Structure 1
Amino acid sequence: MDEKGFESMNMVPFIDIMLVLLTIVLTTSSFIASGRIPVNLPQATASEPDTRQTETIEIDAAGTVYLAGEAVSTDTLKTRLGGMNKDTPVLLRADKAVALQRFIDVADVLKQLGFAKVAVQTEAGTS
C-alpha cells in the first residue's frame, strides 16, 4: 500500500477559529474599555410620604392632556398651573404610545412655570 505524506496542511479551519476568537476578544474588550466607573450606590430606608396634595397631569395615547381629570389644552394647562404654588408636587402620567413631542411640551410648561417637584409615573417592568 502506498502511503502519501502531508504535502500541505489545510489552514482554512484554523483561520476560521482564529477569526472567531479575535471577534470575541475585540467585542469584550470594547465593553471593558468603555470607561464605566463602578459605583456602589448607598441604600436608603423608605421616606415619609408627602402629605401635600399632588396635582396629576395625564396624557392619553391620542395626545390629549388632562389636568385633574379634565381635558385641557397646553395654553389652558399653563394658565391653570400658573396660579398654583411652585412647591406643589406634580405627577405626570403619559401613555407609552404618546408622541415624545407631546410629553416634552407638557414637561416644558412645567419647567417654564418653575415646578421643581415633578415625578413621572411608570410601571415596574420585568427583566
Structure 2
Amino acid sequence: MKKVDQMNVIPFIDIMLVLLAIVLMTASFVSQGQIEVTLPESSATSTTDPADASKNVLITVAADGQYYLDDAPITLVALDEQVAQLTEAASVTLKIDADTPFQAFVRVTDILNQHAVTRVSVLTETR
C-alpha cells in the first residue's frame, strides 16, 4: 500500500485562531471619537449594538459648548441640516461632556425631535 502525502493544516489553523483572538481583543479598544469629553456617570448598562456602527452618527458636545458631528466641528444650523438628511435606519449617539450646560443637551435633542430621529443613545461611564 502506498502512503499518500497530505498537507498538514493543523499548524495553519492554530496560527489563524491566535490571529483571530488578537484581532478580537484589540477591536474592543477602538476609541469612540477623538474629542476629549468627560462622560457623565450612570449605573445603567449599554444596550447599543456595536454591529450597527456603520449606521451610527456621533454628535459630541464639548465642555466649552462646541458641537461636533463625527469629530468634525459643526454649528447648530449645520447640525440641523445634517440631521434632516439622516435615514430612518440611522441611529444617533450623543457624547456630551458632564460639565456641559444642560441647555446644550436640550438644543441637540430638540433638533433630533424636529426630524423624528428615534434611535438615540447617550454615552456614559459606568459607576
Which TM-score bucket, shorter chain as reference?
A: 0.5 to 0.7
In structure 2, the gaps of 5 or more residues are 1-46
Check conservation: 2:60, 2:96, Cα contact below 8 A.
Answer: yes
Equivalent AA in structure 2 for residue 64 of structure 1: Q
Structure with greater strand share of residues: 2
1:1-80 pair list within 5 angstroms: 49-51=50-52, 52-80=54-82
The TM-score normalised by the length of structure 1 is 0.58
The answer for the alignment partner of 2:90 in structure 1 is 88
RMSD: 1.8
Equivalent AA in structure 2 for residue 79 of structure 1: E
The TM-score normalised by the length of structure 2 is 0.58
Measured at CA, do residues 47 and 88 of structure 1 come closer, stay the same or move farther in structure 2, by a change above 3 Å?
closer
Task: Among all aligned residue pairs of Structure 1 and Structure 2, give the percentage whose two residues are the same amino acid.
Answer: 25
Measured at CA, do residues 118 and 48 of structure 1 come closer, stay the same or move farther in structure 2, by a change above 3 Å?
closer
Measured at CA, do residues 119 and 48 of structure 1 come closer, stay the same or move farther in structure 2, by a change above 3 Å?
closer
| Count of residues in correspondence between the two structures | 80
Displacement of 1:50: 3.8
The answer for the alignment partner of 1:117 in structure 2 is 119
Larger radius of gyration: 1
Measured at CA, do residues 47 and 72 of structure 1 come closer, stay the same or move farther in structure 2, by a change above 3 Å?
closer
Q: 2: CA distance between counterparts of 1:82 and 1:47?
A: 22
The alignment status of 1:108 with 2:116, answered yes or no, reads no
Equivalent AA in structure 2 for residue 94 of structure 1: I
Q: 2: CA distance between counterparts of 1:55 and 1:98?
A: 20
